[in-house]
Structure 1
Amino acid sequence: MAALRGRIDALDERILALLNERARLAAEIGDQKRRVRPEGPLHAPAREREVLARLEAANPGPFPAPAVRAVFQEVMSACLALEQPLRVAFLGPEGTFTHQAVTRQFGLSALALPLGTIGAIFDAVERGRADYGVVPVENASEGSVDPTLDAFLGRQVRIVGEILLPVEHALLLHPRLELAAVERVYSHPQALGQCRRWLEAHLPRAQTVEAPSTAEAARLAREDAAGAAIAAELAARLYDLRVGAERIQDLGGNATRFWVLGREPVPPSGHDRTTLIAVVRDRPGALLELLQPIARRGLSLSRIQSRPTRRRLWEYAFFLDLEGHESDPAVAAALEDLRATLVEVQVLGSYPHVEDAPH
């Protein structure tokens, strides 16, 4: 065993040397980018996706494919942070599922900026105070997040990516507390409801205490020697708690979809989704006029939802998700037809489509 551990130590040292060599090369690329475009961004999302996909496909095993993506995501995040840390705004506080979505997409080396409202995230991206923003758009069990949809009206930001995050609750314990000694469980009302059967089976005598967020629940549990919290595992590290039980939600398969906000359009990836707003007046046939150009071009419509524009009475904005990129001929033709018949059409963005929530 000692010999095997010695070989592992030698490999670790080689990996460390290669990581530092990669960081130096990344810094050289950053210098060249600044010489060509002094005010341009250093982050290249399309290149990042290409590298991750190539490495996942090239992995012969036994190292797990999802771990390949996670490891190299962190490597690229750390290399970029040496030159220019990405500023990513999200709905705070730290330790929430939105924060977890940020770390999954951008790595732990990104500068996560917790903000108080969804509108503040849009403003930070639009005004250049953040490079990207991450906002929730829909949950598989709870439906759409209307404040996110409403925030697009009148703003000039683009959707540049999406994140599909499985909602997996963990029971986080005070460091010196055993499960049988838990007297209070803190969490957001929604999380408490989603774990009700588990709590009844494992902590039938514990009092449940509602908190404004799962992150705040973790903070409260840290201050309560007999307290626990239901939250994301990320909160355990941030609030110095330990994970007492994993995946305690009563139903599996729940996930939340997030949009990544940016300012620059995204080139086609070959597997894209386009989200747009179409504004129509409330009159007979309005919805048919909206759908006909999409159907004529043979495009798949994966989502449609209406919201009042709040500009004038009975005027509605329809949010639509189409399969394809806005530069694809069929999508471009459908958009041209829509602009000829509707009051207003705005493409919110074309971005790589994520189908499954990784675990």
Structure 2
Amino acid sequence: MTNTLDDLRNEIDELDQKLQDLLNQRAALAHKVAEVKTATDPNPVFYRPEREAQVLRRVKERNQGPLDGETMARFFREVMSACLALEQRMKVAFLGPEGTFTQQAALKHFGHAVESLPLAAIDEVFREVESGAANYGVVPVENSTEGVVNHTLDTFMTSSLKICGEVELRIHHHLLAGEHTRQDKVTRVYSHQQTLAQCRQWLDAHMPGVERIAVSSNAEAARRLKDEWNALAIAGEMAEELYGLTAVQRNIEDRPDNTTRFIIIGRQDTPPSGCDKTSLMISGKNRPGLLYEVLSPFRDEGINLTRLESRPSRTANWSYVFFVDCEGHKEDDTLQAVLDKLEAAGNTIKLLGSYPKAVL
């Protein structure tokens, strides 16, 4: 028997009702979870990064389509965000202003049921979380095209905050015009210095005579077009929509797989989720073979390194610290063995955090 259009619509309506009832049942359970936590713990922790990562992984693993696993996980991300807001509405600080890729990363990781707080600099995000004015912060740490964000690494040298999560965001840059822009008279293009670098080849080929002016953020570049008629900006879709701009050319980044990795910073440690990464800072007396001594314990224990950076230590000229990301959790026996070997060799170790690998 062939279903009519009305039959199919009625079936969808019935399913919508069931979905709505189930979502409210889930929200009611989340509210009860909050009550139990509050009754048993004077300082309850409502946001559990490892728990959310486990839930999202299961969503993707059991998904049968036709919706793809990523889409289904994003849906559940928003459901969990709304339910968590019933327990505690979180404040998340991010590198602003509004419309930046960092805000986009924050919403991708936490969902839209959080209060997002834009700040002007990376160290301000750290301070806001350290003071307790924000529950968590989101800052960029590395880009697949331009490499590490030095300011983020340097701030960890004096901060007590922990990394409790990560999020990867595919970055697409668009050349944008404002309401009053005269495109035949453009003499300058605004964007963040990293964005200008990520679009260098396209700009060389298509806008060789146009001045490139670096500003504090892509959102700031978009904002400036409100008052200028001879400029364009490079920014993302969020800034385009927020400031009412028009795309002159989309996806002008030099590499189509251009991706930025952001980290979530907070004040507490994160238990194992079953698929984790650990970030640490290692420093030692400058001597021949120091780098080998730092790396060999990871090799001996079969632990894969995902990132290695060196930065000036700020304690003495030509003295450096190593920032290492590796697979595994600090509670794993193999990683604990690495830490023991590094300390036995006279190195100083600062654990920046163990946290779930990015799911979305």
What TM-score comes out, normalization by structure 1 length? 0.86
- What displacement does 1:332 show? 0.5
1:332 counterpart SS class: helix
The aligned residue for residue 40 of structure 2 is 36
Contact 2:145 2:198 in 1 (8 A): no
Question: What corresponds to 2:168 in structure 1?
Answer: 164
What is the CA–CA distance in structure 1 between the aligned matches of 2:246 and 2:175, rounded to whole Å?
9
Does 103-112 or 277-286 show the bigger shift? 277-286
* Aligned ranges 1:72-83 → 2 under 5 Å: 72-83=76-87
What is the CA-CA distance between 1:262 and the residue it aligns to?
A: 1.6
Aligned-partner Cα distance in 1 for 2:19–2:254: 41
Query: Residue 272 of structure 1: CA displacement?
Result: 1.9
- C-alpha deviation, 1:285, in angstroms: 2.7
Structure 2 vs 1, CA of residues 192 and 143 (structure 1 numbering), >3 Å: closer, same or farther?
Answer: closer
Give the AA of the match of 1:155.
Answer: S
**Given that residues 187 and 214 in structure 1 are in contact (C-alpha distance below 8 angstroms), is that contact kept between their aligned partners in structure 2?**
yes
Q: How many residues align?
A: 355
Matches within 5 A, 1:286-325: 286-325=290-329
Deviations 1:46-74 (A, max 9, x none): 22122212222222211222111111111
In the TM superposition, what is the alpha-carbon distance from 1:93 to its structure 2 partner?
1.0
Map 1:335-354; keep pairs closer than 5 Å: 335-354=339-358
Do structure 1's residue 144 and structure 2's residue 148 form an aligned pair? yes
Q: Which residue, out of 257, 267, 270, partners 1:263?
A: 267
Alpha-carbon contact 2:49-2:165 (below 8 Å) kept: no
Instruction: Name the TM-score, length of structure 2 as normaliser.
Output: 0.86
1:142-195: CA deviation from partner (whole Å, max 9, x where unpaired): 111111111111321111111111111234555x78998896864335434544
Relative to structure 1, is the Cα distance of residues 245 and 82 closer, same or farther in structure 2, using a 3 angstrom cutoff? farther
Greater shift in the superposed pair: 298-307 or 241-250: 241-250
- Let me know the Cα RMSD of the aligned residues: 3.1
CA distance in 2, matches of 1:8, 1:144: 48
Identify if the C-alpha distance between structure 1 residues 212 and 117 changes in structure 2 by more than 3 Å, giving closer, same or farther: closer
Instruction: Check 1:158–1:235 CA distance in 2 against 1; reply closer, same or farther (3 A cut).
Output: same
- Aligned partners of 1:182 and 1:203 also within 8 Å: no
Percent of matched pairs sharing the same residue: 45
- Distance in 2 separating the partners of 1:8 and 1:236: 35
Match for residue 66 of structure 1?
A: 70
TM superposition shift of 1:298: 2.6
Per-residue Cα deviation, 1:35-94 (whole angstroms, up to 9, x for no partner):
111321211222212221222222221122211111111111122223321221211111
Tell me by how many angstroms 1:250 deviates: 3.4
- Aligned residue number for residue 188 of structure 1: 192
Q: In structure 2, which of residues 97, 101, 104 is the aligned counterpart of residue 100 of structure 1?
A: 104
Aligned-residue offset at 1:211? 4.1
1:155 is aligned to: 159
2:242 maps to which residue?
238
User: In the alignment, does 2:53 pair up with 1:49?
Assistant: yes
- In the alignment, does 2:273 pair up with 1:272? no
Tell me how far 1:207 sits from its aligned partner: 8.4
Q: Distance in 2 between matches of 1:181 and 1:131?
A: 47
> 2:120 aligned with 1:113, yes or no?
no
Question: Amino acid of the residue matched to residue 87 of structure 1?
Answer: K
SS in 2 for 1:281: coil
Measured in 2, the distance between the counterparts of 1:178 and 1:221 equals: 7
Q: Give the Cα separation in 1 of the matches to 2:198 and 2:143.
A: 13
Match of 2:131 among 109, 116, 127: 127
Aligned to 1:86: 90
Q: Secondary structure at the match of 1:291?
A: helix
Match of 1:221 in 2: 225
